[in-house]
């Protein structure tokens, strides 16, 4: 960072005028685009700016959101399971990796599953669920046994604040939130 | 008029006053290591997340997240071997970037590959991935191979550079990465201020009681609601300060120390792999080049 308060030249001597102009446009555009995209402000003007830069931000990979644990952190422990129903009537449970049951090294390599489960439980991402059910049906040890239906089941326990500053956990509840009939082509 | 003139002078000083390339070169090394670490941690799941029979197919991805995007996977044959080859090439480029070999080309390859894996599966990303991707974009334009690199050794051997001299370079790309880091903190602060849990002080209690995030045991006294309330407020103060006051010279080093402590505490307590290290990597860009040079000399 420049510490001195001396005046810098109007235009850096190393740059030709067109280079200086191009760089300034590039810098200003990216400061504008990133700010418009990621600032958590929902005025009509900001939303218009966001729409304006959307194609570029998505194309370039500069899209970003910094809302981890915010505005309100999750208040529920959730666990995802797949129930596999085979043609012969047998059923099997398959647990998505649960971070709290993994070793330290596994936590590092499997953390993506935590995020994936979080996304999957969001109703906005319901379109992903058939793919997930198909993936489970194709897993080694499951595919060979001719799965007929895959159910995705969530178990959850809420973290409830008490009046005195402490919190309690509710008993585990569960819900089947997606059913998928396996097609023969899914197993190929 | 005078204000405009001094604003322009400040802008030029900030973005265009030549600076030692030592910081951006050191950042390149840490960045390269983190990209390699990201790939190696993913290694067991390369095909599960990105293969032709992955959790989310490319076709579904295209439907739920439409739009034209940089995504090299759309050019690859949909076979396991092509996907695995892609990752090995990506890893080789990241190693070249770390070593500073063919730095410009390797930084472009790393950025294209990193963006592609993020675009191919947007549903498994954390903030660290986003920061690496955005920083990687600006790293392409930075003189990242000007120091601490194989490229520089080659230039010295060919007589194109003096071993005792490091030519100052334009720092604008480095500044963009610094601005991105400051923006990350400020936007995080802003998001937190939008929800009552952080201002009321209950946010950390929820976070520390989410089983999936727990890593190492936290001393019981720090899990007391009063301590967690203070912790929630401190997080707001730290994020606001790192997003704004970091630009004021006299606050910078104390804030960097606080930031390191903040992220290492989170690294200890919370299971969000690599995020803390991804963010901490850019702290080196805020160190004065002379101080960094002194430190490197001492280490050497």
pLDDT tens across A132-158, in order? 999 999 999 999 999 999 999 999 999
Q: Quick one: pLDDT at residue A8?
A: 52
Query: What average pLDDT does this structure show over A5-23?
Result: 74
Q: pLDDT-derived band of residue A126, with 50, 70 and 90 as boundaries?
A: very high
Task: Give the ipTM.
Answer: 0.94
pLDDT tens across B115-159, in order? 999 999 999 999 999 999 999 999 999 999 999 999 999 999 999
∠ CA(B275), CA(B140), CA(A14), 5° rounding? 130
Q: Is the dihedral of CA A54, A55, A59, A60 positive or negative?
A: negative
Q: Are B210 and A77 within 8 A, CB to CB?
A: yes
Report whether pLDDT(A11) > 80.
no
Q: Quick one: pLDDT at residue A9?
A: 54
Q: Are A107 and B215 within 8 A, CB to CB?
A: yes
CA distance A124 to B158: 58
Q: Quick one: pLDDT at residue A12?
A: 64
Report whether pLDDT(B292) > 60.
yes
Q: Quick one: pLDDT at residue A42?
A: 86
CA distances, A173 to each of A78, A90, A153 (Å): 10, 24, 10
Task: Answer whether A37's CB lies under 8 Å from B187's CB.
Answer: no
* Start-to-end CA span in chain A (Å): 59
Report whether pLDDT(B163) > 70.
yes
Among residues A87, A98, A75, the alpha carbon closest in space to that of A145 is found at: A87
Q: Quick one: pLDDT at residue A5?
A: 43
CA distances, B190 to each of A65, A69, B173, B198 (Å): 12, 12, 25, 11
Task: Answer whether B212's CB lies under 8 Å from B271's CB.
Answer: yes
Among residues B109, B97, B111, the alpha carbon closest in space to that of B149 is found at: B97
User: Percentage of chain B with pLDDT > 70?
Assistant: 100
Report whether pLDDT(A7) > 70.
no
pLDDT tens across B239-271, in order? 999 999 999 999 999 999 999 999 999 999 998
DSSP state of B74: G
Which positions in chain B touch A77 (Cβ < 8 Å)?
A: 209-212
Among residues A32, B243, B19, B133, the alpha carbon closest in space to that of A24 is found at: A32
Which positions in chain A touch B176 (Cβ < 8 Å)?
A: 27, 30
Cβ atoms within 10 Å, residue B15: 20
CA distance A58 to B69: 6
Task: Answer whether B117's CB lies under 8 Å from B93's CB.
Answer: no
Q: Quick one: pLDDT at residue B214?
A: 87
Task: Answer whether B270's CB lies under 8 Å from B213's CB.
Answer: yes
Q: pLDDT-derived band of residue A1, with 50, 70 and 90 as boundaries?
A: low
Residues 205-264 of B with CB under 8 A from A: 205-207, 209-215, 225-226, 229, 247, 249, 252
Q: Quick one: pLDDT at residue B272?
A: 85
Q: Quick one: pLDDT at residue B127?
A: 94
Quote the minimal CA–CA distance from B8 to chain A in Å. Answer: 7
Task: Answer whether B102's CB lies under 8 Å from B96's CB.
Answer: yes
CA distance B45 to B23: 34
State which residue of chain A sits closest to B179, comparing Cα positions.
A31
pLDDT tens across B73-121, in order? 999 999 999 999 999 999 999 999 999 999 999 999 999 999 999 999 9
CA distance A150 to B45: 22
How is residue B111 written in tokens? 């950025």
Cβ atoms within 10 Å, residue B258: 16
Residue B75 in contact with partner chain A when CB distance is under 8 A:
no
B199 CA to centre of own chain: 28
CA distance B112 to B216: 35
The chain-wide mean pLDDT, for chain B, equals 94
Which positions in chain A touch B110 (Cβ < 8 Å)?
A: none
Cβ contacts from A onto B, under 8 A: 211
Q: Quick one: pLDDT at residue B1?
A: 79
Q: pLDDT-derived band of residue A161, with 50, 70 and 90 as boundaries?
A: confident
Task: Answer whether A178's CB lies under 8 Å from A158's CB.
Answer: no
Q: Are A111 and B10 within 8 A, CB to CB?
A: no
Q: Which of B8, B176, B184 sits opposite A30 (nearest CB)?
A: B176
Q: What H or E segment, with its residue span, contains residue A157?
A: strand A147-161
pTM reported for the whole predicted model: 0.93
* DSSP helix/strand/coil, A142: coil
pLDDT tens across B178-215, in order? 999 999 999 999 999 998 899 998 899 889 889 888 88
Quote the minimal CA–CA distance from B79 to chain A in Å. Answer: 14
Q: Quick one: pLDDT at residue B195?
A: 83
CA distance B108 to B140: 6
Task: Answer whether A123's CB lies under 8 Å from A154's CB.
Answer: no
Report whether pLDDT(A33) > 80.
yes
Report whether pLDDT(A6) > 80.
no
Quote the minimal CA–CA distance from A107 to chain B in Å. Answer: 7
- The most distant pair of C-alpha atoms in chain B lies apart, rounded to whole Å, by 64
């Amino acid at each position: 960072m420049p510490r001195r308060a001396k005046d810098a030249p109007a235009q850096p001597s190393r740059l030709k005028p067109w280079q200086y102009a191009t760089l300034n446009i590039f810098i200003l555009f990216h400061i504008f685009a990133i700010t418009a995209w990621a600032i958590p402000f929902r005025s009509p003007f900001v939303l218009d700016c966001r729409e304006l830069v959307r194609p570029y931000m998505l194309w370039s990979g500069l899209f970003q959101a910094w809302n981890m644990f915010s505005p309100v952190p999750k208040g529920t422990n959730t666990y995802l399971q797949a129930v596999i129903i085979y043609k012969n009537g047998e059923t099997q449970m398959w647990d998505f990796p649960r971070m709290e049951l993994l070793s330290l090294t596994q936590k590092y390599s499997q953390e993506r599953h935590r995020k994936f489960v979080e996304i999957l439980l969001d109703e906005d991402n319901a379109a992903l669920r058939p793919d997930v059910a198909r993936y489970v049906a194709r897993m080694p040890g499951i595919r060979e046994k001719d799965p007929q239906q895959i159910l995705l089941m969530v178990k959850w326990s809420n973290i409830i604040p008490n009046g005195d500053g402490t919190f309690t956990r509710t008993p585990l509840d569960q819900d089947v939130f997606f059913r998928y009939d396996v097609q023969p082509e899914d197993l190929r | 008029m005078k204000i405009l003139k001094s604003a322009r002078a400040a802008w030029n000083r900030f973005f265009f006053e030549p600076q030692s390339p030592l910081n951006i070169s050191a950042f390149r090394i840490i960045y390269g290591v983190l990209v390699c670490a990201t790939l190696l941690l993913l290694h067991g799941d390369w095909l599960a997340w990105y293969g032709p029979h992955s959790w989310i197919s490319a076709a579904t991805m295209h439907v739920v997240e439409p739009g034209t995007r940089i995504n090299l996977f759309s050019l690859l044959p949909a076979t396991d071997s092509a996907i695995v080859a892609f990752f090995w090439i990506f890893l080789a480029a990241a190693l070249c970037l770390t070593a500073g070999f063919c730095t410009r080309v390797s930084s472009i390859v790393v950025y294209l590959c990193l963006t592609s894996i993020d675009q191919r599966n947007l549903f498994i990303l954390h903030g660290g991935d986003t920061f690496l991707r955005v920083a990687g974009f600006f790293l392409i334009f930075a003189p990242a191979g000007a120091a601490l690199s194989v490229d520089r050794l080659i230039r010295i051997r060919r007589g194109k550079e003096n071993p005792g001299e490091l030519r100052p370079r334009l720092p604008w790309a480095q500044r963009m990465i610094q601005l991105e880091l400051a923006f990350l903190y400020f936007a995080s602060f802003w998001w937190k201020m939008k929800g009552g849990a952080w201002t009321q002080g209950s946010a950390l209690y929820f976070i520390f009681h989410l089983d999936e995030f727990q890593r190492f045991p936290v001393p019981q006294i720090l899990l007391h609601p009063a301590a967690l309330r203070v912790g929630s407020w401190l997080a707001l103060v730290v994020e606001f300060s790192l997003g704004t006051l970091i630009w004021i010279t006299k606050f910078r080093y104390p804030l960097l120390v606080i930031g390191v402590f903040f992220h290492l505490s989170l690294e200890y307590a919370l299971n969000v792999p690599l995020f803390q290290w991804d963010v901490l990597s850019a702290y080196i860009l805020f160190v004065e080049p002379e101080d960094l040079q002194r430190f490197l000399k001492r280490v050497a």
